[in-house]
Amino acid sequence: MFPETRLRRLRNNKQIREMLDISPPYPNKFIWPTFVVPGKNIKEPIKSMPGQYRYSVDMLVNDLGKIVESGIGGVLLFGSTEEENKNAHGHASFDQDGVVQQAIHKIKEKYSSFTVIADICVCAFTDHGHCGTLDKDKLVNNDETLVTLSSMAKSMCDAGVDIVAPSSMMDGQVHAIREKLDSNNYENKIIMSYSTKFASSLYDPFRDAENSQPSSGDRKAYQASYANLDLALRESEFDEDEGADILMVKPALFYLDVLSKIKASTDLPVAAYNVSGEYSMIHATHMQGWGSLKEMVHESLISTVRAGADILITYWANQYKEIFND
């Protein structure tokens, strides 16, 4: 007790603080999420997400060189298609000539050992913007959607992806995808499940980037409620039982309690997705002159690691050197 014990002793010296603190995460713990669009010679800035772009395949492969050189662990690809290719089921998502499939092939051709991850969701491929086939009541038909998601995951594996990441929050999606992959000799492909993905207000910049806003209603009938902790934890528990190799919490900062509880309850690696709204809020605060960009990013990412994240999925990954190198 005080005065014999003085906790400030351990904070008075910068070298001592750094010795005792959690170290900044190494770049190989980062995954960079990015957006692929049809066309050529496209590198279109995303207004709501400074420093991020919509890429055509050729421009993405060109820009990826500096990401690979920086030691970043991998890239998470989100795709889209032309309006005329969209339908009620999102069948364009498993077109072998789709932009994500093309991107996987081209990236692995140039950077064979670099980890490529494909998001598995059909919201950017349906004509209604929801994450699956709608029934007569305009609710997502869970079991019909599983068929599409499984086909999409297989097509990504056919293209050479390393990891598939189902994000639709359908019941049984991990089981269905694992069964589909195993029956097609893809038993060594990794499933990183968006196991606890909340219906959050922090996704709007992403939906702007991918043009995947639902045309009606919202996604609260399938994404987890932020006010129901027990059900959120069960989502990850179920995905682990179904065969997920990596679990995930999305978003990150508002859900560090959930991340910590899931990490404490599993032996699987756990990823945290530092989402578009978190990224854009920090940028907006900095642009108003209300905070240091570098300090805010450091604090947000290290707090996520402190809460239990083994992997950081973050848009800051393409700026790793600027943020973490003095």
Specify whether 189 is catalytic: no
Q: Do 236 and 266 contact (CB within 8 A), yes or no? A: yes
Does an H or E element contain 158, and which? helix 142-159
Compute the residue count for the chain: 326
- Determine whether 86 is an active site residue: no
The dihedrals phi and psi of 242, each to the nearest 5 degrees, come to -80, -10
Query: What are the distances in angstroms from CA 43 to CA 40, 47, 54, 322?
Result: 9, 12, 6, 21
Task: Return the exposure string of 65-80: e unless at least 16 CB atoms fall within 10 Å of the residue's CB, then b.
Answer: eebeebebbbbbbbbb
Q: Which of 250, 261, 263, 294 is catalytic?
A: 250
CB 270 within 8 A of CB 239: no
* Residue of 86, 154, 197, 263 with catalytic role: 197
The closest of 119, 182, 167, 171 to 144, measured between CA atoms, is: 171
By annotation, the residues acting in catalysis are: 197, 250
